[in-house]
Structures are given as structure tokens and as C-alpha cells.
């Protein structure tokens, strides 16, 4: 299993940035020092303390402290010292962060073993899972019981049987986690409660977001106590929870697993914010693990959310802010993916209460190892901004879907609609240079085609219409065909690596070289919605720009152009050729126009692009 774990990490192929991100956030050896409470604050420790200088996070032993609480006592010194990260990775149960996981069966023993193995690997890598067990037949069974013409005693008998099935499935998965080397703690009851439920209503299903994904979220469920989850994580154990809640009379109800996941997500987030109905207000818990989930994972038989742009293969990444409504309106895979929309609604509700940096993963049970790659790289297995031809042809149907809260996307076509100060801020922060504002804005007022803005100017893409200059006046020739030029593509440094760049590039493609295709029917505010004729998009980048590798992978081609006057560094000219080339060629023939080949276009582009002045001081 140790060799298998190492191979799984290597197969993730993390970049240098990915590795730094993982080590900064999940390396047990880099745990920040936290001040332990003194005995004056607490006569007895609420739980076994951990040594802040030892990279073990199992919390399985007490660290003796002196009466003054000093960490320099001989007993405390005995446990000091750092372990090599590789040894820690393979031997010590790490629990620096938590993930909230829904395991949505039914699964065979072999399938469940594979999932359990993946959960144990994640725990060794620093992510301990809080698991909610689900079964696709349970919600149908709840509805069926509610519809049957039964006496009260018969209905309660059916509920008790369903409840026992839930508990057996929870124990079954817990046993498999134990068999794979991961300590598990089944929390069969006592985590969830139902507000206002009475005994006589126990056979009626709770209103569920999973049953009606378009309805408002339910507030019937809440986390009564986090002590079970907290103690399990503290001891290096994986909590496993069935969708069972107590009503006002302490009768155990069967509830929707989606509602259970949503309630637990809210409870874990509220506990860290010290808000909500219930939280453990003991000040000593300031030294405890942060229970706020950094990942939401849904493991089922369906896998990711199907995408029409990929012929039914899963979306690689979803921006909830701009794509949620559109996916719901255009979804046609109800028969093969009956729970896809309800899971998407669950993700939306959970990410709304979690930190913005949290993300969700929908993955098939056939590829649980992909969760390891997602943990280390924090991105999809394949970049969604790559062209379809650049993606592998095999096994794409089992690729996971990464979902982020994301940012809204807007398209502006006039400088009067653009916040110039905000635009300057994102450009200067991204490029690390000072913008020569007035000349730059004057050129945009004259030549702007469109400007794509993500969020509150967190990222921008500016496209202009460039024409050859009149040698006599220095002004663009009005009768010349315009060239679509990507003048600026900028993302705030704080958002680089979180998927924003891919969302922005996808919107750029839909407005230019991908326009007119069925998969370019983008829902972005102010966008063309797929209506129009695709255009070649051209841009330049300095030859020594480290971003060029990223451009190489996404462009149709590039070639070198000489440096502008007074500069010693040349440029690479990139272009993305219009994807709807056949339709464009047929239209040109019908209109009597000769469609230029790529070499002819390059000769036309190079002198125009070379003459564009710099906008930096």
C-alpha cells in the first residue's frame, strides 16, 4: 500500500507551483505553532494535547506539562524533534484538514474497498474525511413508505427496518476502512437533529434539496453536537455517519443524505466561526484542529456532470457563479445521471457556507485515485481551457468534475461601462508594472471590441480591433479588415492557480475563435450567446515571458516577430484560428471572397501587431 500510495502521488504529475501549494497547506512538518493553554486557564486538559514541534497529528498521546504550562520541561522535551516528511507521509496519520465526503451507493464489496483505500490514502496525505453514507434506494424507500396505506405501527416498523439498513451500510464501510489500515469511527446517532419534528410525523420524509433541486434549501436539519466528529478527527480516526437524525422525542428518523451533508457542512463551518445554533464555546478548543472542510467530495457510480461541449463526457471544471443555471436548463442526461443535478445543487449550497477557497469533486467509484491528484494539484486532471483536440480520447467518461464557487463573468463592449480604476488595478497587480493610463484608455475607446471581466475585476481579458496605420496620418485605416487582438489577459496574483484563468479563457474562446459553435452558447452576461461568426484571435508575448508555455499549449501556433524600436527583447506572436473554419470557408465562397491561408494571414498580422505601442510607463 505504501508503494501504491507513492505511485499515485507520482502519477498526479504536480508542477512546482502545485507542490509548493500542497507542502504549504498539507505538510505535517510545517504545522504552525499554536500556543497551548496554561494550567491556570484549565485545571485539566479537555483532551490529550499535542506537541506543536513534532509533525505528528494523530493526537493519540498526552504531552506532560509543568504547572506553568511551559513547553520546555524535560517531559515535553522528550517528544520534540522533527521527522522526515517521507517517513511522516507513510507512517503517521495526518489530519491537518478535513474533507466532507458523500459515498453514494450501491457499491459492491470490491468497489467499496477501492473507495476505502482512497480515503485512507487521503488521510495519510493530510486530509481526513468526514463521510456520510448514502444509497440511491433510501430516498425512494422513504417516499414509498409515506405513500403506503399503513397503520401507524406498520409505518414505524418500516422506518425501523430502513434505519437498520442505513446502520449496517455504515458499519460495512467502517469495517472496510479498518481493513485498509485507516482507523474509522461510525457515529450511528447523535450528530444530527430535526427541528420541530414530532413522533407521529416520523414516517414522513423531510423536505429535501435532493428531491427538488430548484426549491429553497431546507433548515429542518442541524448538527446538535460536533463532539463525536471532533474527537474522531483528534484521534486520527475517520468519522462515518449515516443519514439518521433525532427528533424532539429522541426518535431516530431517516433523512435525505443530501440534507445530512448540507447540515454537517453548515455545522462544521459555523463551529469555526463561533456562530450558529450550537458550537463548543470552550476556549481550549482554540488549539484544536480546524474542522472547516477544504474539499467536498461526492463519490458515486455516475461520476462527473456530463457536458454537451464534450459529447456527454464530464465537465472538467464548473464555475457555479456563471454556469449553474445554464447547466440545469440544458441538462439532458436524466436517465444515465439521475442524481447529477441534485448533487450539483448540494454542492452549490455547501460551497455557499464554506470558505471561498473550498472546492468540490464529483467522481466515479472507478477513479478514486483521481482524488489524490486533486488534493495535490487543486485542479482538474486536464485543464478545461485546452482545446478538445489536446485532450486524451480514452477514459474521459470517468474523469472527475471539479466545482468551484467561482466568479460571475460579464462582457462589456464600451469603455463607458468599464470601471477604469478597477481595470488599472488588476492590470498593474497582474503584470507588476505601472499603466500609462490616458493613452491606453484613448486607444481602447477607439479600438475596443470587448472586455471580459470576472468577478469584481478579479480578472480581465481585453480584445481590440487592430488595423494597419495610415503612413500619412498615423491613424488606423478605416477600410481595412480588423484583426481581433488579445491586448491584455490578466488575473490577480491571489487568484492564480484557483481555476479563474481557465474560466476566463473559456469565456474568451466563446466570444472569438469558438463563436458560432453549439458548445459556445455561453450564459455570460453581455456575451453573444453563440450567435455570430468566429474570428481568428491574435496576441503577442515577450519571448522571455514564463507564461509562454501556457500559451503554447492553447494556441493554434506561433512564430517570432522582431522587437519594437528601442527594445532588445523580441515577441512571440500567437494565434487561435477560428474553429468554425468550414462554415467560414463556405460563406466566403458564396460571397465571392477568397479565404486566406494561414501563411497569408501571418504576413498580414505581423506588421500590424508589431506596431502596437506599449501601455506601460
Higher pLDDT, 174 or 143: 174
Q: How many other CB atoms are found less than 10 A from the CB of residue 21?
A: 18
Instruction: List the grid coordinates of 217.
Output: 434549501
Instruction: List the grid coordinates of 68.
Output: 506553568
Q: What are the φ/ψ torsions at residue 559 (nearest 5 degrees)?
A: -155, 165
Sequence-distant (≥ 6) Cβ neighbours of residue 105 within 8 angstroms: 112, 133, 134, 135, 136, 169
CA–CA gap between residue 231 and residue 522 (Å, rounded) = 46
Only one residue has cell 466570444, namely 511
Strand ranges, E, within 322-467? 359-364, 401-404, 409-412, 448-454, 459-466
| The pLDDT value given to residue 9 | 65
Range in 354-363, 407-416, 422-431, 453-462 with the lowest mean pLDDT: 354-363
Domain spans in the chain, listed from the N-terminal domain onward: 96-297, 409-610
Q: How confident is the model at residue 441 (pLDDT cuts 50, 70, 90)?
A: very high
Q: Assess whether pLDDT exceeds 90 at residue 379.
A: no
Range in 71-85, 161-175, 240-254, 583-597 with the lowest mean pLDDT: 71-85
Only one residue has cell 460571397, namely 591
CATH assignment of 409-610? Answer: 3.40.630.30
Average pLDDT, the chain: 77
C-alpha distances (whole Å) from 311 to each of 212, 314, 315, 344 are 26, 9, 10, 19
DSSP state of 475: S
| The pLDDT value given to residue 387 | 73
Q: How many other CB atoms are found less than 10 A from the CB of residue 438?
A: 9
Q: How confident is the model at residue 530 (pLDDT cuts 50, 70, 90)?
A: confident
292 neighbors 357 (Cβ within 8 angstroms): no
pLDDT (tens digit per residue) in 458-512: 999 999 999 988 877 778 888 888 999 999 999 998 887 778 999 999 999 999 9
| Cα 427 to the center of its chain, rounded Å | 25
Q: b/e map of 585-599 (b: 16 or more CB within 10 Å)? A: eeeeeeeeeeeeeee
CA–CA gap between residue 361 and residue 457 (Å, rounded) = 27
Q: b/e map of 60-83 (b: 16 or more CB within 10 Å)? A: eeebebeeebebeeeebeeeeeee
* Fold of the 96-297 domain: Carbamate kinase (3.40.1160)
238 neighbors 128 (Cβ within 8 angstroms): yes
User: Among residues 83, 101, 85, 114, which one has the least CA distance to residue 6?
Assistant: 85
Do 409-610 and 96-297 fall under one CATH topology? no
Q: How confident is the model at residue 427 (pLDDT cuts 50, 70, 90)?
A: very high
Q: Assess whether pLDDT exceeds 90 at residue 396.
A: no
Only one residue has cell 453581455, namely 526
| The pLDDT value given to residue 250 | 76
Q: How confident is the model at residue 416 (pLDDT cuts 50, 70, 90)?
A: very high
HEC-encoded secondary structure of 15-77: CHHHHHHHHHHHCHHHCCCCCCCCCCCCCCCCCCCCCCCCCCCCCCCCCCCCCCCCCCCHHHH
Q: Assess whether pLDDT exceeds 60 at residue 207.
A: no
Q: How confident is the model at residue 42 (pLDDT cuts 50, 70, 90)?
A: very low
Q: Assess whether pLDDT exceeds 80 at residue 433.
A: yes
Instruction: List the grid coordinates of 91.
Output: 507512517
DSSP state of 384: T
| The pLDDT value given to residue 52 | 33
| The pLDDT value given to residue 494 | 85
Q: How confident is the model at residue 344 (pLDDT cuts 50, 70, 90)?
A: very high
| The pLDDT value given to residue 313 | 85
Amino acid at each position: 500500500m505504501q508503494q501504491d500510495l507513492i505511485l499515485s502521488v507520482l502519477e498526479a504529475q504536480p508542477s512546482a507551483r502545485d507542490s509548493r501549494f500542497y507542502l504549504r497547506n498539507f505538510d505535517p512538518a510545517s504545522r504552525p505553532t499554536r500556543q497551548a493553554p496554561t494550567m491556570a486557564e484549565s485545571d485539566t486538559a479537555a483532551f490529550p494535547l499535542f506537541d506543536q514541534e513534532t509533525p505528528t497529528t494523530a493526537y493519540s498521546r498526552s504531552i506532560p506539562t509543568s504547572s506553568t504550562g511551559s513547553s520546555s520541561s524535560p517531559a515535553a522535551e522528550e517528544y520534540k524533534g522533527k521527522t522526515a516528511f517521507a517517513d511522516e507521509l507513510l507512517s503517521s496519520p495526518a489530519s491537518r484538514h478535513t474533507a466532507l465526503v458523500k459515498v453514494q451507493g450501491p457499491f459492491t464489496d470490491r468497489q467499496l474497498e477501492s473507495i476505502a483505500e482512497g480515503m485512507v490514502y487521503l488521510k495519510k496525505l493530510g486530509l481526513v474525511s468526514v463521510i456520510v453514507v448514502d444509497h440511491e434506494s433510501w430516498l425512494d424507500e422513504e417516499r414509498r413508505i409515506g405513500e403506503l396505506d399503513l397503520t401507524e405501527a406498520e409505518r414505524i416498523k418500516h422506518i425501523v427496518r430502513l434505519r437498520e439498513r442505513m446502520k449496517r451500510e455504515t458499519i460495512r464501510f467502517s469495517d472496510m476502512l479498518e481493513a485498509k489500515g485507516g482507523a474509522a469511527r461510525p457515529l450511528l446517532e447523535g450528530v444530527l437533529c430535526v427541528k420541530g419534528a414530532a413522533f407521529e410525523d416520523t414516517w414522513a420524509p423531510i423536505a429535501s434539496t435532493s428531491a427538488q433541486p430548484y426549491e429553497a434549501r431546507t433548515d429542518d436539519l442541524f448538527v446538535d453536537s460536533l463532539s463525536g466528529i471532533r474527537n474522531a478527527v483528534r484521534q486520527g480516526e475517520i468519522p462515518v455517519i449515516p443519514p439518521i437524525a433525532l427528533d424532539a422525542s429522541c426518535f431516530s428518523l431517516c433523512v435525505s443524505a443530501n440534507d445530512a451533508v448540507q447540515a454537517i457542512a453548515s455545522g462544521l463551518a459555523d463551529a469555526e466561526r463561533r456562530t450558529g445554533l450550537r458550537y463548543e464555546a470552550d476556549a481550549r478548543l482554540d488549539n484544536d484542529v480546524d474542522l472547516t472542510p477544504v474539499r467536498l467530495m461526492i463519490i458515486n457510480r455516475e461520476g462527473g456532470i456530463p457536458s454537451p461541449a464534450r459529447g456527454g463526457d464530464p465537465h472538467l471544471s464548473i464555475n457555479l457563479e456563471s454556469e449553474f443555471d445554464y447547466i440545469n436548463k440544458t441538462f439532458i442526461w436524466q436517465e444515465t445521471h439521475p442524481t447529477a443535478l441534485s448533487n450539483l445543487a448540494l454542492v452549490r449550497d455547501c460551497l455557499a457556507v464554506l470558505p471561498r477557497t473550498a472546492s468540490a469533486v464529483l467522481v466515479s467509484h472507478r477513479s478514486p485515485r483521481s482524488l489524490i491528484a486533486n488534493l495535490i494539484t487543486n485542479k482538474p486532471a486536464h485543464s478545461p481551457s485546452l482545446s478538445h483536440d489536446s485532450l486524451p480520447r480514452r477514459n474521459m467518461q470517468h474523469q472527475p468534475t471539479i466545482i468551484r464557487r467561482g466568479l460571475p463573468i460579464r462582457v462589456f463592449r464600451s469603455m463607458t461601462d468599464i470601471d477604469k480604476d478597477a481595470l488599472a488595478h488588476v492590470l498593474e497587480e497582474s503584470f507588476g508594472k505601472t499603466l500609462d493610463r490616458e493613452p491606453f484608455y484613448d486607444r481602447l475607446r477607439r479600438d475596443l471590441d470587448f472586455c471580459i471581466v470576472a468577478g469584481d475585476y478579479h480578472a480581465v481579458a481585453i480584445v481590440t480591433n487592430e488595423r494597419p496605420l495610415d503612413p500619412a496620418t498615423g491613424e488606423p485605416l478605416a477600410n481595412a479588415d480588423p484583426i481581433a487582438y488579445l491586448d491584455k489577459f490578466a488575473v490577480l496574483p491571489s487568484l492564480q492557480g484557483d481555476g479563474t484563468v481557465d474560466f476566463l479563457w473559456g469565456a474568451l474562446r466563446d466570444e472569438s475563435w469558438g463563436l458560432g459553435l453549439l458548445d459556445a452558447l455561453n450564459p455570460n452576461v453581455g456575451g453573444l450567446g453563440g450567435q455570430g461568426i468566429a474570428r481568428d484571435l491574435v496576441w503577442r508575448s515577450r519571448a522571455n515571458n514564463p507564461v509562454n508555455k501556457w500559451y503554447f499549449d492553447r494556441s493554434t501556433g506561433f512564430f517570432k516577430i522582431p522587437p519594437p524600436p528601442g527594445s532588445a527583447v523580441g515577441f512571440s506572436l500567437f494565434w487561435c484560428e477560428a474553429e468554425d473554419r468550414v462554415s467560414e470557408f463556405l460563406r466566403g465562397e458564396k460571397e465571392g471572397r477568397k479565404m486566406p491561408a494561414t501563411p497569408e494571414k501571418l504576413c498580414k498580422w505581423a506588421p500590424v501587431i508589431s506596431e502596437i505601442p506599449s501601455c506601460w510607463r
